[in-house]
Structure 1
Amino acid sequence: MPYARPLRLTSLALALALCSPAWAAEPDPTREPASLAPIPVPPSASNAAPLPLDELRTFAEVMDRIKAAYVEPVDDKTLLENAIKGMLSNLDPHSAYLEPEAFQELQESTSGEFGGLGIEVGMEDGFVKVVAPIDDTPAARAGIEAGDLIIKIDGKPTKGLSMMEAVDMMRGKAGSKIELTLVREGGKPFDVELTRAVIKVRSVRSQLLEPGYGYLRITQFQINTGGEVGKALAGLKKSNDGKPLRGLVLDLRNNPGGVLQAAVEVTDHFLKDGLIVYTKGRIANSELRFSADPGDASEGVPLVVLINAGSASASEIVAGALQDHKRGVVMGTDSFGKGSVQTVLPLNNDRALKLTTALYYTPSGRSIQAQGIEPDIEVARAKLTREQENENLREADLAGHLGNGNGGPDKPSSKSRNAPPRLQDDDYQLGQALNLLKGLSVTRGD
């Protein structure tokens, strides 16, 4: 498999648990994002039309008028930096001008430990929108959900704020409090108070749902996620008394994305060969292809992949590749639909541009930009309410009942009430995924 320098693919958000950086997509066997080499400008961009002199004169005139007539003095540096921010903000929601602090936080966030609230955010109609809360963070514990609109931060409206400004307002020291005003699915606004914390994102979780059936959740694609998934698959087999699994649920819900390399490695654990993803852009360095290596760490286990509207970018790469190869059944609801690649281009004075340079495509050639991955089986989120079990007696409850002639154990009516709670009992989508795997197992005669 060809490897490239780690490339971050997520919705726009900046460090502090609100972000996923994008590294220069320059082919290199190393996996460390140490050097961020600038990508050469294509000849067509430098040798094309002459400078737009009329527009530049207008720009200079506007700048001169602001300096002369604005109510307060404004220095040239502030005006020019604001002009650069405006130039980038009108390209697409994911391109941005990174000042030194934001650039530094962007570089550090691939470690999986950073400060903030634990939400991945984007923009919608001028408001900050939650793409996904990150597991075990203040945002997730407060009940913030994918799709929530943040309309106020500490009482100040977010309408009209840039992404950078909104993120700056949500930054703060661990232990400090912040109040967000949210709107969910067109309902009435409500306030949520959170306490900022140091976010330590645990990328991979796994457990047996039932004997023979595994659960593997990826909360975010970090540099080491591919290796962690390999260990988790081995651990699940060990927990299953060393026997191959009969089914596995790969949970990518509310996973905002992350390092492209990790998404490729995770997908490779489930494929023996074939294309995983490719990218296309205007410059040569943005055109990459990633293919699977021989070998299948998952041992061909029947697979269900769970996605929802909070599954973005790198999550969509994994789901799209497994869907195209018919390696697993994709279940849930439509994913977020971020199919663009951002590249960080370092500038002078510790600043950088985060610029959209390419689109990525699934093995069949699908661009999911602004469309998302459509699940094979749509299962909406639902809250389960269990009926009270009736007090009807069963044969095994009766005194002096006959034993089972086949030697099987008695099953009195009280047995189900004494069963310990299971992860799938309160998660409707997960329960449906497990039921599908059991059905497949029955039809195979396992």
Structure 2
Amino acid sequence: MPHVRHLFRSTPLVLALTFSATGGAWAQQTQQPPQTIAPAPEEVPATTTKAPLPLEELRTFAEVLDRIKAAYVEPVDDKTLLENAIKGMLDNLDPHSAYLGADEFKELQESTSGEFGGLGIEVGTEDGYLKVVSPIDDTPASKAGIEAGDVILEVDGKPTKGLSMMSAVDLMRGEPGSKVRLLLSRGGGKPFERTLTRAVIKVRSVRSEMLEKGYGYLRISQFQVNTGEEVGKALDQLRKDNGRKLDGLVLDLRNNPGGVLQSAVEVTDHFLKKGLIVYTEGRLPNSELRFSADPKDASEGVPLVVLINGGSASAAEIVAGALQDHKRGVLMGTDSFGKGSVQTVLPLNGDRALKLTTALYFTPNGRSIQAQGITPDIDVPRARLTREKDSESLREADLQRHLGNGNGAPDRQRSATPAPSRPQDEDYQLSQALNLLKGLNVTRGE
């Protein structure tokens, strides 16, 4: 697949699954490959009926423009007034539609490359406030302890309530190395401050490791252009590390804000041999798209548990919903975010663009998760896992002159060294996922 910025420059319209923030508060842009791109407005068949222009309202618009220019206390140029009018049109639609100036458009193009400047926060709006959808792994936001669901009350002392998404994001943008102070609230509790240092965010979208013999862990933090390919490589590496087919796999989509639609389809395809993955419906003639799995199964049918939470959104929900509908894996965790809309990026003159919601996507069984989310099969809330210290009591094998077991097996005495720390030792949801996989294998006699 070509680099995202090449696609933006060579196609008139790009479908996207995206949130409403860009730049410093990280936005996830998604794209469709050229063969699935819907037509630009001028390419819509001639049979489409266009409504007549509202002449009276246009006259009112021109009159307001003229009076502001003539009477406002300070001079305002035409470009500023017209751009503000355009922003106003988009701001009063859904929270994912927006007008992108040259800088915002450039940052949006760069976001799926996995490297951009900012804090590493995916944000949305709720009741006029700026809300954290999810912090991105290994970024200033995640290192500062910011969590999904936190409300950003102030940025460097300036309240965010009532600000447009773009204005709030502009406050958090800045040069890497510069600092920004956030005032946050969590769960309606007492506000607290965090000071973050802006950085060049290099997001590693796929991470994998063996939890223990036979059981692998695959973490996807976002869906970038090459995520599907990276997941294929990770599955192959896990099998090599295990020396044989895996006994079970945990696919971690928690706090994954989404990303490239095509990558979500490719990732899902690694776990399915047939059937529909996702489809979209909208008003544009070519917005009704369908994506299906091919017969190849890179996961070899390994027993699968998928972890989701309130920070799992958009493309992550596509993957989770498809695997749940096909009963390919067990979903565990908490309800997902619930973003089921598709955005289309329409480039304009002067390196600007519109990001416009044009369709809804549906899971294979026809579920729209818009404002609903994906409900896990097994609800496992986040919890702190505290492991009690093992008892120092003796075992039979520690006693002098103890009998052997008669089978020739070696004695099992107390371990002299503590077991090394593992990811599941500190992560309650992950430990529950691993236990479920082990239980499935026991009941299957594997």
Q: TM-score range by the shorter chain?
A: over 0.9
Instruction: Indicate the residue corresponding to 2:332 in structure 1.
Output: 331
Instruction: Indicate the residue corresponding to 1:14 in structure 2.
Output: 22
Equivalent of 1:115 in 114, 117, 134: 117
In the aligned structure 2, how far is the partner of 1:378 from the partner of 1:11? Answer: 26
Equivalent of 1:105 in 94, 104, 107: 107
Identity %: 74
Instruction: Indicate the residue corresponding to 1:230 in structure 2.
Output: 232
Is this contact kept in 2: 1:39–1:345, CA < 8 A? no
Post-superposition offset of 1:75: 1.6
In the aligned structure 1, how far is the partner of 2:213 from the partner of 2:128? Answer: 48
Post-superposition offset of 1:283: 0.5
Instruction: Indicate the residue corresponding to 1:260 in structure 2.
Output: 261
| TM, length-normalised to structure 1 | 0.93
Post-superposition offset of 1:374: 0.6
Over 3 Å counting, the alpha-carbon distance change for 1:44 and 1:152 in structure 2 is farther
Instruction: Indicate the residue corresponding to 1:32 in structure 2.
Output: none
In the aligned structure 2, how far is the partner of 1:167 from the partner of 1:407? Answer: 68
One-letter amino acid of the structure 2 residue matched with residue 12 of structure 1: S
Instruction: Indicate the residue corresponding to 2:129 in structure 1.
Output: 127
Is this contact kept in 2: 1:17–1:115, CA < 8 A? no
Could you tell me which runs of 5 or more consecutive residues in structure 1 were left unpaired when the two chains were aligned.
30-34
In the aligned structure 2, how far is the partner of 1:111 from the partner of 1:404? Answer: 59
- The 5-angstrom pairing of residues 44-443 of structure 1 reads 47-241=49-243, 243-414=244-415, 418-443=418-443
Over 3 Å counting, the alpha-carbon distance change for 1:26 and 1:386 in structure 2 is closer
In the aligned structure 2, how far is the partner of 1:45 from the partner of 1:383? Answer: 60
Could you tell me which runs of 5 or more consecutive residues in structure 2 were left unpaired when the two chains were aligned.
8-13
In the aligned structure 2, how far is the partner of 1:331 from the partner of 1:364? Answer: 19
Post-superposition offset of 1:45: 11
Post-superposition offset of 1:16: 4.4
The one-character-per-residue Cα deviations of 1:329-348 (angstroms, maximum 9, x if unpaired) are 01110101000001100111
Instruction: Indicate the residue corresponding to 1:28 in structure 2.
Output: 35
The one-character-per-residue Cα deviations of 1:272-293 (angstroms, maximum 9, x if unpaired) are 0111001111012211110101
Is this contact kept in 2: 1:36–1:346, CA < 8 A? no
Post-superposition offset of 1:72: 1.6
In the aligned structure 2, how far is the partner of 1:40 from the partner of 1:431? Answer: 53
Over 3 Å counting, the alpha-carbon distance change for 1:308 and 1:359 in structure 2 is same
- Residue 217 of structure 1 aligns to a residue whose secondary structure is strand
Over 3 Å counting, the alpha-carbon distance change for 1:218 and 1:308 in structure 2 is same
The one-character-per-residue Cα deviations of 1:5-48 (angstroms, maximum 9, x if unpaired) are 8853132221346111244x57528xxxxx99744475799744
Over 3 Å counting, the alpha-carbon distance change for 1:69 and 1:301 in structure 2 is same
In the aligned structure 2, how far is the partner of 1:431 from the partner of 1:289? Answer: 36
In the aligned structure 2, how far is the partner of 1:232 from the partner of 1:40? Answer: 43
In the aligned structure 2, how far is the partner of 1:180 from the partner of 1:188? Answer: 14
In the aligned structure 1, how far is the partner of 2:290 from the partner of 2:130? Answer: 33
Post-superposition offset of 1:319: 0.4
The one-character-per-residue Cα deviations of 1:222-259 (angstroms, maximum 9, x if unpaired) are 11111111111110010011x10010000000001010
Is this contact kept in 1: 2:255–2:308, CA < 8 A? yes
Over 3 Å counting, the alpha-carbon distance change for 1:400 and 1:12 in structure 2 is farther
In the aligned structure 1, how far is the partner of 2:57 from the partner of 2:230? Answer: 53
Over 3 Å counting, the alpha-carbon distance change for 1:413 and 1:338 in structure 2 is same
Q: Name which of structure 1's ranges 48-57 and 371-380 shifts more when overlaid on structure 2.
A: 48-57
Over 3 Å counting, the alpha-carbon distance change for 1:314 and 1:89 in structure 2 is same
Over 3 Å counting, the alpha-carbon distance change for 1:402 and 1:39 in structure 2 is farther
Over 3 Å counting, the alpha-carbon distance change for 1:160 and 1:331 in structure 2 is same
In the aligned structure 2, how far is the partner of 1:286 from the partner of 1:177? Answer: 42
One-letter amino acid of the structure 1 residue matched with residue 214 of structure 2: G
| TM, length-normalised to structure 2 | 0.93
